[in-house]
A and B are shown apart, each in its own frame.
Chain A
């Protein structure tokens, strides 16, 4: 690109109504949050997020907490994150949250209100993604932090020492990062699927299968998987047994930074394609 072209692009960008887009995006996000976060229909997603929290809470109340059991509980928590949250809770939670954003509104016949508003469709899509992301993060990050706190709460001073003077906080950071990237990654994928398919669930099941067999795929194909990036961010390696062994296969090592950036690039790519798709989205409720 020549400097003149670069200047033209800069001038063009400067002319865009960024202030208006920000106001519209914020407004749409608030409207979407009203629909998704504070809705009884989302109660099953609350259940998905907080079911392990409830079990860990019961364990805190009735289980013994000798210091020797802390290593085992640390492993159990890592297993919950790797096998439950990434593969089940966040996956299906995001399917529920993000597929409602477009397809759910098609089913409820209310999407046209947004498409008839003076908002660029790309802004609409990104706002829906933001609202879905906030909803998913509010639920799953809260759940993960609560799981972590409850898991070590029973160990008293040994637990506090593990968290604040040992590797505890580092593990919590990693779990939160995994949750954030997992929610946004699956969110972007399911938002796109809900635009392409009348019923995104079968397609989501294919994605689930793809995520499961991805570790045995060639290196290039592994980059097209959310879970493969998240696996590299796990602070503790959890050996899987039986069918779970497939989910815990060690692939070629990738640094945490590379995995994070790789997933962010994947999310950006999926969202860019979704923005392209939404430009030609049609309201045809009778056939949906």
Chain B
């Protein structure tokens, strides 16, 4: 068993409609965010990964296991889908417990794991109620509880923050971070880029069924060379810093921060930019308090590569 999720030249067509085309990915453990507009193929990728749909061509393996080997595959994989439907009349705890019993886990242990998952998703109090009476956020949580209950090594989450209030979102993100730190694979699709961006190790950008970019967020951002990077430099004399930077021709745009104690600079060569910035700091003309990339996140990458506002998709 290896530790990778591998898509090898995978295509999926629904009749004549393209799902995804020639996707090759090699995803290491950690948190990976699938980013793309509606209908871009994110859910198709997740469904392919878990065997809910079969590739038209190419092959997929998760930790070296094919989805066709359901017994071993789903011991290692949990999938929290977007489908907001449940077996009729089922209670919260029963839903999670049924799933665990299908693993062949003895009932007392399965019950313990179910309660643990329900507590982790803060659903302990509602576990005895019918899922049909749950709010959208609670239904999202119960799906998450079912997906994590058997302690999978790979967790696939399709829009897991949909329907959650801000507190529940923060709790879920903290849980994802904790799971990521434990060495798990987390594959998350979400259009709430600002929030998932904080916890993602890498992004996979997809649009129209085609893979646009993948990798570490900072690396991907640096690859987008036609969009100069924006950096916020907090300093005591932003005007002087901006003029110095323009003088050495590494900046294409400068904008003062609203509080007057910093400047946003855009540069086409970030490595040279930092080198020059060190020089200016060493000269002592400007006292630099902090340097922060301002568009080095999934949202900015989304805007640059896909062309619309990621938060609005």
Contact = CB atoms under 8 A, between A and B. Distances in A.
B70 A31 contact: no
B87 A282 contact: no
A118 B85 contact: no
A120 B71 contact: yes
B236 to A, nearest CB: 57
Given A110-B86, A112-B81, A113-B87, A284 B102 contact: no
B54 A282 contact: yes
A20 B81 contact: no
Given A31-B98, A109-B85, A287-B14, A118 B71 contact: yes
Contacts of B87: 31, 35, 110, 113
A27 B75 contact: no
Contacts of B98: 27, 31
Contacts, number: 73
A108 B85 contact: yes
Interface of B: 14, 47, 50-54, 68, 70-75, 79, 81, 83-89, 98-99, 101-104
A280 interface: yes
Contacts of B86: 110, 113
A218 interface: no
B88 A35 contact: yes
A7 interface: no
B261 to A, nearest CB: 52
Contacts of A17: 71
A112 B14 contact: no
Contact of A24 (B50, B75, B102): B102
Interface of A: 17, 20, 23-24, 27-28, 31, 34-35, 39, 108-110, 112-113, 115-121, 279-280, 282-285, 287
A27 B54 contact: no
Contact of B54 (A24, A113, A117, A280): A280
A117 B105 CA distance: 13
Contacts of B99: 113, 117
A118 B14 contact: no
Nearest to B52: A283
A112 B52 contact: yes
Contacts of B103: 117-118
Contacts of B102: 24, 27-28, 117-119
Contact of B104 (A23, A113, A282): A23
A28 B75 CA distance: 17
Contacts of B104: 20, 23-24, 118
A117 B97 CA distance: 12
B70 A121 contact: yes
Contact of A115 (B51, B75, B88): B51
B224 to A, nearest CB: 33
A51 to B, nearest CB: 26
